[in-house]
Amino acid sequence: MKIEIRAQDLLSYEGDALIVNLFEGVERPGGSTGAVDRALGGSITAAIRRREFTGKLHERLLLHTVGQLLVARVLVIGLGKQEEFTLDRVRSASAEAMRHLRGVGAKTVGSIVHGAGIGGLDADQAACAVTEGALLGLYRFDKYKKPDDNGKKVVRTLTLLERDKARVATMKKGVRRGRILAEAVSFARDLVNEPANTLTPSELAVRAKKMASGCGLSIKILERADMKKLGMGALLGVAQGSQEPPKLIEVSYKGRKGKGTGPRLGLVGKGVTFDSGGISIKPSEGMEAMKGDMAGGAAVLAAIKGIAELKLPVDVTVLVPATENLPSGTAQHPGDIVKAMNGKTIEVINTDAEGRLILADALCYACERGLTHLVDVATLTGACIIALGSVRTGAFTNNPELMRQVKQASEAACEKIWELPMDDEYGEQIKSDCADMKNIGGKKAGPITGAKLLANFVGKTPWVHLDIAGTAQAEKDSGYQVKGATGAMVRTLICLAMGFGGVVKS
């Protein structure tokens, strides 16, 4: 979809539909919505008076014009209460409006930049959010099945209309950034939605290579032999049950201009392209969702794509340990003891707790590469879904300062996270009789014991672990989320990199 911004009055826009908005409880619309209302002979005011439309968040009123405007339809989208207005509501209102208009067959749509007028938001930020919302709300994974409309209903152009010429240049910047952010999220969504018979570890490496060459990034793929040489026994243990060779994908971006060594951000993502549980096999119901067990890997690859396209002044390296977790005659057994790259041994009590095993080696490798700050993203524990549902990503750290920055980034991106504790006592739960640790810690505090295991492989390096088990996939369309992969944490990681160069001391 093309997104353009024009210094033009709303009323003179010629196309299939026009989007305006209304805050909840407003009786007489002002600004652009008021102007459109007057052009329509007061139809919006009439609908408000009859209580057919109240401006509640995501509420929609579709009006058909009869010669009063140069568009066939006007869609009024509810923004909710003005005192509760946020940038995230701009994103979701934009998404809901665009999905509605695609549904009625609109191909050319004009819109006001929600929030930039009466909403009082920064023009650049509002334009960015409208763009993100439109692109993410219209996202579809329709590679294997034509949508119900046979793929005919496609919005070709979205024109953002702004009367004040002086604001157009700033808004253009916002649109450009919004597109980069949304395309990064869509890249992650595509990878997560792709089934495991197509997206094997090798295919994930191929997609990462294509992305890297498209963005001018350097990429290295470590093969099984390299992992053996490096002593990555934990990663190899998980991979040994599958016919598909494991890959450790390493993508680097150098954006820092200064000389000498500075902070180097490492983003590590779990890349299990299918998690059957291994010998500790999962129940079959719902197992198909485990094609998305590489959502963390997808998020970090998508983030570095966005970071490179935005040319952020930071150095970033992405690591994705990619493998399948399958049962077979060669699969690891419960009770096996594996040795990670840093020499620590892990007793594998449950082969389904495989994410922490592959991340153990990837985190060791990240430290060895000299990365100074680490953030890992993983669909690590079902227990995190029990604790936080699909609303918030679980967050864990060994370093309050890095956590502060990750929280700040998550707030800027409007992607909710929630910090969980890491007290020493939780570490007791993963003590093993015969190895340095065991890979599960019992029923209690599952997300925390998972994080505690990971902490053994980062040493003193500042590190944040994000458990996206509950947030990586959505059950229904809502706002700019669509059913299926969400691309959770992609925008947060990009926002983290935006603040990183300047803020973090090396």
* Binding interface with ligand BES (CB under 6 A): 275, 293, 350, 352-355, 379, 381-383, 385, 440, 446, 469
How far apart are alpha carbons 266 and 249 in whole angstroms? Answer: 13
Nearest-approach distance from CB 260 to Zn ion, in angstroms: 39
347 binds, among ligand BES, Zn ion, none (CB under 5 to 8 A by kind): none
How far apart are alpha carbons 282 and 351 in whole angstroms? Answer: 10
DSSP H or E run through 48: helix 43-49
Closer CB to ligand BES, residue 162 or residue 275? 275
Nearest-approach distance from CB 363 to ligand BES, in angstroms: 16
Indicate the Cα dihedral angle 395, 400, 406, 412, nearest 10°.
110
Nearest-approach distance from CB 155 to ligand BES, in angstroms: 32
How far apart are alpha carbons 124 and 251 in whole angstroms? Answer: 30
Within a 10 A sphere around the Cβ of 432, how many other Cβ atoms? 15
Closer CB to ligand BES, residue 117 or residue 278? 278
293 binds Zn ion (CB under 5 A): yes
The β-bridge relationship of strands 337-339 and 345-347 is antiparallel
43 binds, among Zn ion, ligand BES, none (CB under 5 to 8 A by kind): none
The β-bridge relationship of strands 437-438 and 463-467 is unpaired
Nearest-approach distance from CB 275 to ligand BES, in angstroms: 5
Does residue 263 contact residue 315 with C-beta atoms inside 8 Å? yes
Report the residue from 315, 352, 415, 467 that binds Zn ion according to the rule CB under 5 A: 352
- Which amino acid makes up residue 198? T
Closest by CA position to 94, among listed 70, 46, 47, 58: 58
Does residue 159 contact residue 111 with C-beta atoms inside 8 Å? yes
Two structure tokens written together for 254: 């150098």
Nearest-approach distance from CB 467 to ligand BES, in angstroms: 9
Residues 353-372 that bind Zn ion (CB under 5 A): 354-355
Closer CB to Zn ion, residue 132 or residue 352? 352
Two structure tokens written together for 481: 């989320």
How far apart are alpha carbons 374 and 376 in whole angstroms? Answer: 7
376 binds Zn ion (CB under 5 A): no
How far apart are alpha carbons 35 and 116 in whole angstroms? Answer: 16
How far apart are alpha carbons 25 and 80 in whole angstroms? Answer: 8
The β-bridge relationship of strands 393-397 and 345-347 is unpaired
Nearest-approach distance from CB 358 to Zn ion, in angstroms: 9
Within a 10 A sphere around the Cβ of 58, how many other Cβ atoms? 17
211 binds, among Zn ion, ligand BES, none (CB under 5 to 8 A by kind): none
467 binds Zn ion (CB under 5 A): no
Q: For 397, phi and psi rounded to 5 degrees? A: -155, 165
Within a 10 A sphere around the Cβ of 27, how many other Cβ atoms? 8
Q: Which stretch binds Zn ion (CB under 5 A): 201-209, 224-232, 349-357, 404-412?
A: 349-357
Nearest-approach distance from CB 172 to ligand BES, in angstroms: 39
Does residue 265 contact residue 370 with C-beta atoms inside 8 Å? no
Within a 10 A sphere around the Cβ of 370, how many other Cβ atoms? 11
Nearest-approach distance from CB 442 to ligand BES, in angstroms: 8
Nearest-approach distance from CB 338 to Zn ion, in angstroms: 15
Which residue of this chain has its Cβ atom nearest to ligand BES in the complex?
Answer: 382
- Which amino acid makes up residue 458? V
Closer CB to ligand BES, residue 57 or residue 353? 353
Closer CB to Zn ion, residue 129 or residue 437? 437
Beta strands per DSSP E along 245-290: 247-254, 264-269, 271-275
Closer CB to ligand BES, residue 124 or residue 354? 354
440 binds, among Zn ion, ligand BES, none (CB under 5 to 8 A by kind): ligand BES
DSSP one-letter string for 332-345: PPTT-EEE-TTS-E
The answer for residues whose C-beta is within 8 angstroms of residue 155's C-beta and 6 or more apart is 1, 98, 101, 102, 106, 107, 108, 109, 138
Closer CB to ligand BES, residue 57 or residue 445? 445
275 binds Zn ion (CB under 5 A): yes
DSSP structure class, residue 194: S
Which residues participate in catalysis according to the annotation? Answer: 282, 356
381 binds, among Zn ion, ligand BES, none (CB under 5 to 8 A by kind): ligand BES
190 binds Zn ion (CB under 5 A): no
Applying CB under 5 A, the residues found at the interface with Zn ion are: 272, 275, 293, 352, 354-355
